Chains A and B, each alone.
Chain A
Amino acid sequence: MTPPDVLVIGGGIIGRVAAIELATAGATVTIVDAGTNAGSHANAGSLHVQMQSRFIRLFPEQAPNVEAALPLYKQAASVWADLEARIGDCELTRQGGLMLAEGEAQMAFLEDKARREERRGLDVTLLDRAALDRIAPWIGAQIVGAELCRDEGKLNPLLAGRRLEAECRRLGITVVTDSVQALERAGGGMVAHGRRSRYAAQEVVIAAAWGSGVIVRDFGVDIPTRAEPLHMNITEPCAYQIAHLVQHAERPITFKQFKSGQIVIGGGWPARDNGPDAVPSVRADSLLGNVALAARLVPAVGRLRLIRTWAGMNTTADGGSILGRLAREPRVTMAVPGDAGYTLGPLIGQMAASIVLGQAPPADPAPYAPDRFAAATA
C-alpha cells in the first residue's frame, strides 16, 4: 500500500509527532497550524504519570477516565525518552515526581491514591518525613510525607520544540500558517478551507486541541474541546540542584528545575481568556498564589527572583484522550490528548499515525474512540 497524502491540522506536540511518523513511513505530509495559543508552546514540560490532585479536585466526574488511562501515561513517559533519543537532547530526566502531604488527612489521600495507581502498574512508594529528608531535605518543614512516582520526569519544552521543528524540516514536511474554517469531503479525499487557502488530502489528522471540536461538528460528533487559559512562572537561573518534579496532595502546583538552571512554577492556576486570536493574560491572584505556594514548599527559592510569567491555552474535554477515525467520516482521524497532554503527546501522535497507516498502534486506542461524543441526533 502506498502511504496516503495527509493533512495534519494543528502543529503542537501531537501534530508534529504524527507528521514525523507519517513522513518517516513515506507519506507526503502538510501541517496547517493557526499559529496561536498552542499549549505545546506554553507548557511547563512536566512528564506527569501519577494522578494530579488538581485534576481530581477540579473535574471529579472526569477522574475515572484519567485513572483508567494511567498505564497510557506510564507508557507515554517512556515514549518521550525514545523520542529524545531520536531527535536530540531535550534536557529530559526521569528521576521521579514527589507529591507532598501536609498533615495526616492528605497522607491518607496519597495512600489510597498510591494503592489505586499501583494496581494500574505505576512505580509508586510512600515516604514519611525521614525518608523524604533522605532524598529531598529542601522541602518545607510543614510537609509530613510524600508519594514518590518513579515513572515521572521533566524536560525543557522550548528545546523539544526546536528539535521537533528541525526533524520536520529534515523530513521535508510542509508547514503552513493558516486557520482551518471548514472541512468537507471532495471526491475521493478531503478538502480543508483555511482563511488563506484550501488544502486537499486523502487523509486528515485533527490535532488542533481546543480548536478540534468545531472542525468536525458536521461529521456527527459533538466534541466539547474547550480552551482553558493557564498561568506559568519562571525564575532566573541557579545551579542545578533539584532533580524531582514536585507537586502537592491538595493544592495546585508543579515545581521543577530545568537542567539549564531556571525554576519553573505552574500547576494549572487560571489566566484570563482574551479570545482565540489573542494571547491570554496573567492574573494577579494566580501569580501571587502560585509563587507563594512554591516558596512555602521549597523555602530555598525565597531569595531567587522571578523573571517572567506567561499564560497559555490548555485543552479540556472529558479528561480522556480523543483518538481514532470518525465513524461517519473515516478519512478523518482525531488526535486530541487527555489531561497532561504534553506528556501524552508523542504517544498519541504515534497512535494517530499508526491508525492512518493501517498499522497496529503502540497501545489499544479503543477506550479513546471519538464515537463517545456521537451527536444526539443528526
Chain B
Amino acid sequence: MVGHKIQILFSPAETGIALRLAIGKKPEDIIAQVKESKLRGRGGAGFPTGLKWELVQQAKGERKFVVCNADEGEPGTFKDRILLTDHPCKIFEGMAICGYAVGAQNGVVYLRAEYRYLREGLVNAIKKMKESNYLGKNIMGSGFNFDIEIHLGAGAYVCGEETALLESLEGKRGEARNKPPYPTECGYMGCPTVVNNVETFCYVPAIMTKGAQWFSEIGTMESTGSKLFSISGDVAKPGVYELAMGSTVDVVLQLVGAKDTKAVQVGGASGICVAEKDFNKPISFESLPPGGSIIVFNKSRDMLYVLKNFMEFFVEESCGQCTPCREGTYRLLQGVEMMEQGRCSIHYLHTLRDLAQTMLISSKCGLGQLAPNPFLSIIDNFKGEILARDRVARNSKKTPVVR
C-alpha cells in the first residue's frame, strides 16, 4: 500500500451523507470512531484528533467553538488552498460533525489574508449548504444547530500557531499564549475550542461513511490514512499529491519526476532537510514528520543560500514576544551570513548550535522551537560544502573571522 497514490480527499463524495450518519449517532460514538481511526492532525504537530475532540466534549463551558485553521503559511505549502478551492463542502461537513460531537454550535474558518480571493467561493458554499439544511438551524430535523463564518487574517505567519490564531480571532495581536491552559480548555473567548487543520477536517466525512477500520488500515501503525503533499522546487511535475502515510522520499521523488536531487526539505521552513543518504526514509510521524510541504533541490543549488532564505523568513515572522526566538533567529541568520563570506570558524559554529538548542527548549511557541530545524539539518548535511567556501573578503581587514 505504502507509496501508492490513493484518493480519499480527492474522490468525489456527496455532501450530507456523512453528516446524516453522524447525527444519527451519539456524540461519544463519533468520538470513539475518530479515535479508532487513529487520525492525527495534519497541521504539523500530529496530535490525535479524536482525543482533542474528547477533551473539548468533556470540558465545561457554556459555549464551545470549532475553529478551522486555514492560515497555511508554511513555505512550500499549498495543499489547503486546493481543498479550500475544490472541496469546501468536505471541510464544512467535517466541522459540523465535529460541532455535533463536541457540543459546539459555532464554527470559524480562519482564512489567511493572502487567500482572500477564495473567500467568495467559501461563502457561497456555506450558503448552499444552508439551503440544503446541512448547516444552520435544526440540521436535517435533528435539533442540532451549527453555523460557520469566515474570518480573514491580516498577514502574519505566526497566526497559524493555534493560540496566536485565537488571539487574532479575538481582534488582538497574534502573539502565542502561554500553555497550559490549552485551547481545548480555554480557547476562543475563554471557551473550550477545537482547532484543527483544513485537511484534518476533510478526512472526517470519509471516516464516517467508510469506517474507522478502513482508514486505519491505510498508512503505517502510528500514522494512519493518507496525506496531502505540496511538492515544489526542482521537479518536473510540481503539485499536490495524495499519498499513503509512510511513503519514502525516494518514491515521492520518482513520482514527481525529480532528477539530480541533492536535498529535500520535508515540512517547510520549520521542517528538516534530508540529504541523499536518507532518501529511503518514510515520511510519517514515526520518522520524517510530514508537514504539508516538500521542497526539492537539485545538485546545482547552494544549500547555504536556501538556509539563509529560511532564516530570513523566521526573523521576519517571529512575533518578537520572547527573547530566545526574537534574538535567536536573528543570530542564526547572522551566522549564516558569516558562513556565506567564509568568516565563521568551527568554534563559532558550535556556539550557534548551542544557541539553536537553547531556542528549541526555551521558546514560547512552535515558531521559535522549530526555527533551528533547517539550521541544524542543513549544516549537518552539508558541513563540508559550507566550511570549504571561498573567503569572499579575503583581503579586507575589516572582516575578521568570528570566533
- Answer whether A and B are interacting partners: no
